[in-house]
Each structure stands twice: as structure tokens, then as C-alpha cells.
Amino acid sequence: MPTRQEVAYFGAGPAPLPTSVVEAGAQAFVNYNDSGLGLGEISHRSPTANKILEDTKTNLSTLLDIPDNYEILFMQAGGSGEFSAVVQNLVSVWVERRRRKAEADVLAANPSEDKAQVEELVFERVQKEVEEELKLDYLVTGSWSLKASQEAVRLVGSKYVNVALDARKANDGKFGSIPGEESWSLTPTKRDGGKGSAFVYFCDNETVDGVEFQDFPKSLESQSGDEEDERIVVADMSSNFISRKVDVSKYSVIFGGAQKNIGVTGITIVIIKKSLLPPQIATPPAAFLHRLNIGGLPGPVVFDYATIAKNNSLYNTLPIFNLWIAGQVMSDLVNAYGAKKVSGQEEVSNHKANLIYGVLDKYPQVYRVVPDKSIRSRMNICFRVHGGDAEKEKEFLAGADKRMLQGLKGHRSVGGMRASNYNAVSVENVEKLAKYLEDYATGQ
């Protein structure tokens, strides 16, 4: 039987964890801090759980330099759950802003109207605006952003969903490139003579397709300084979370499932601007949303950001053991990189990715990297062996398995190879993979 040290695992998720965290977790699951109870058994409302929650928030804030005007939420249902939550919450914010504006205008124009009449006039105006102006912008650059856009269509209908970019159209029906921003059909904001969308959604790193945005899109940058005239930008960072420095202030919502760079399955992290939460903005009255009949809004309460924020992520039972694992991963990064913070991890991630891509590019007669070089993912390195020859790829995987290099088979929907280079994948294991790639290419 192989030991943990002998296996080099490159699976796309659940991903490897640092061995030190796994070993500490084994003890914590049995008897945490000599309390006689394991972390899977303690109350999520206990002082111990609250300290774990606050420590995890602090470490994440430190790593990413999260501004004070953002809230950190810990939720469940993974990144896929956020496909729905984003729609539920941000369409509600869009409606509430319109409702408030309509109410102010109606009261100014009809100061003597009774409450019921005002409410009816407000509803009629917002209903008309929903029908004519509500749009959700999606940048579809891979399998996960595609699924997110499909969930939006399922919830609110295709009428309201604007696929501003479908990268397949510029790449023979397959993902693997991101066309220039000048070709994107984003809903125009007020400064561009339009009304703006409820939000713009993109997946920062596409796990299946090996595509990663190299920088924040310039067309989504803040320009006017008026928050209600700016684009609300949502980014799914499930598979490159805490792997590089990001300017959090450019995003309205960042979310990520835990099971790749952060921890074990069961925790979803959401970083959200406080201006999208009470008291700065409230959820529209439920009866108002019922009448508008937009995709069954309001949705499930466990997906409601306002409710989760109000209850410090403890509205329902948060899996404290899973949260502790994520917190330990973050704490180790804080301690390892000090003043560099997440930039220290970014240097390591880039180095590891360059080791693998360097060998793949060295032998183009044997390997073909799938995505365009300009958007290659550092986290999920997708490639084909001998042009995708089925027997050759089986041979490649068999050879890798003999060297204890596991998890290299590509996603079932696209085939080929995929080496996932998450934070816990050591430089030593990446060097082992690079050596195998070299040996295979040269027939050794």
C-alpha cells in the first residue's frame, strides 16, 4: 500500500490538503483541544465555534486584504448553490433599488395619494421596468459559467438572461479562448445610454476547460463613482481562490466552494459588498416579489445573503469541522508568507504551473495544451497526448500511475489530461510530474 508521501495527486476536486492540516484534523475530529469532543460534535453556537468562525474570517481578510466595507459569509451547497443564490439575491437588490426610486417619485408626484394607491402605482412601474429592462449578464468561457447561465435561465427565464460572451463562438464550438472585450455585448450602463444589468457574472478559472482570466476585465472597471450606476460584478473563484492576489474592491461578490484550494467539501465562502446587504439595501417585501412573479423569488432562506449575514453565518447548522479545516489552511498561508500574504502563494503557484507548461511546450510533437496560451489556467492544466489518440492517452495514464502520479485524467465531458495544480500540491510533486512528462516525451 502506498503512503501519503508516495502519492502525487493532481485531481480537480476534492483536491489534496496539506498533510499537516489533515493530521491535525484527524486529532481535532476525535478530541479538539482536549475537550473530550470532536469538532464534528460541538454546537455551532458554542464559544469554540464562534472563535473558529472569527479566526477564519480574520485570516481570510488578512490574506486577501479584504476592505472593511465587505462582509464574509460561510454558506453551504457549494459553488453550484451560488449559481442560484446570486440570481436570488442580486435580482432582489435590483428590484429593491427600482422599488425605492419608484416610491420616491410617486410620492413626490402624488403627495396626497393614500398608501394603497401609492403602492399600486409603485408596483405597476416596477413591473413594467422588470419586463422591459431586467437583464443578467453572463460571460460564458467554460463549463461552469455555462452551467451558471443555464441555472439563471431556469430560474428567471431566457428573456432576462443576456449571454454577453459565449467563447465557443470564436473557437469552433469549443471552449479554450476568450475573445477580446470589444466583442462582448454587455448591457449598457447609464453612462453608456442604457439602464444597466442586475449583475455581470464570470468564472475566474474554468476547472474543466483550463481557462483562467489573467486580469480583471477592463470593461467591468468602475468609472462613474456612483455605485448604483456601476456594474455589479460577480466572480466564481472556486478553483483559484487564495492562489493569487486580487483587488477585492473591484468585485461586488466573490464566491468559492472549499474543496479545491480552501478545504473539504461542505463550506462555501462568499465575500460581498455591505452595500448589497441591510441596512444599506433591504430585500424587497416578499409580497411584492410574489406579485412580480420573477422566477419564484424570494428563494430559499438559506441562500439569502441578508439572513446569513444577520446571523453571522449561523442561521442554520454550519459544519464547524469543515470551517476549521478551511481556517487552518488559511492560517498556515498567513504564517508561511507573512507580509507577502497571498502574493507569496501566487509566486509558488506560478512557478509550479511554469514547470509543467515548460515541458508541455518543449515537446509539441507529443503534447498539445488545449486552451490558448493567453488564457492558460495556472490551476487546471489541460492537454492532449499525441493529438488525443485514445490508446496513447491510456498508455500515458498507465505510465503515470506506475509512478504514483494520480488524478491526471481529464473531465469526462472533454477527455484528455488535466493536471490540477492547487495550493496543496507540493513543488516536489510537480517536479515529479514534470520529470515524467519529459521521460514520456523522450521515450525513457
Q: Which CATH number fits domain 340-442: 3.90.1150.10, 3.30.230.10, 3.40.190.10, 1.20.200.10?
A: 3.90.1150.10
Question: In the chain, what are the domain boundaries?
Answer: 64-321, 340-442
pTM of the model: 0.97
For the domain bounded by 64-321, which CATH number is listed? 3.40.640.10
pLDDT tens for the chain, 444 residues long, are 889 999 999 999 999 999 999 999 999 999 999 999 999 999 999 999 999 999 999 999 999 999 999 999 999 999 999 999 999 999 999 999 999 999 999 999 988 888 999 999 999 999 999 999 999 999 999 999 999 999 999 999 999 999 999 999 999 999 999 999 999 999 999 888 898 999 999 999 999 999 999 999 999 998 766 666 789 999 999 999 999 999 999 999 999 999 999 999 999 999 999 999 999 998 899 999 999 999 889 999 999 999 999 999 999 999 999 999 999 999 999 999 999 999 999 999 999 999 999 999 999 999 999 999 999 999 999 999 999 999 999 999 999 999 999 999 999 999 999 999 999 999 999 999 999 999 999 987
One-letter-per-residue 3-state SS of the chain:
CCCCCCCEECCCCCCCCCHHHHHHHHHHHHCHHHCCCCCCCCCCCCHHHHHHHHHHHHHHHHHHCCCCCEEEEEECCHHHHHHHHHHHHHHHHHHHHHHHHHHHHHHHHCCCCCHHHHHHHHHHHHHHHHHHHCCEEEEECCHHHHHHHHHHHHHHCHHHEEEEEEHHHHCCCCCCCCCCHHHCCCCCCHHHCCCCCCEEEEECEECCCCEECCCCCHHHCCCCCCHHHCCCEEEECCCCCCCCCCCHHHCCEEEEECCCCCCCCCCEEEEEEHHHCCCCCCCCCHHHHHHHCCCCCCCCHHHCHHHHHHCCCCCCCCCHHHHHHHHHHHHHHHHHHHHHCHHHHHHHHHHHHHHHHHHHHHCCCCEEECCCHHHECCCEEEEEEHHHCHHHHHHHHHHHHHCCEECCECCCCCCCEEEECCCCCCHHHHHHHHHHHHHHHCCC
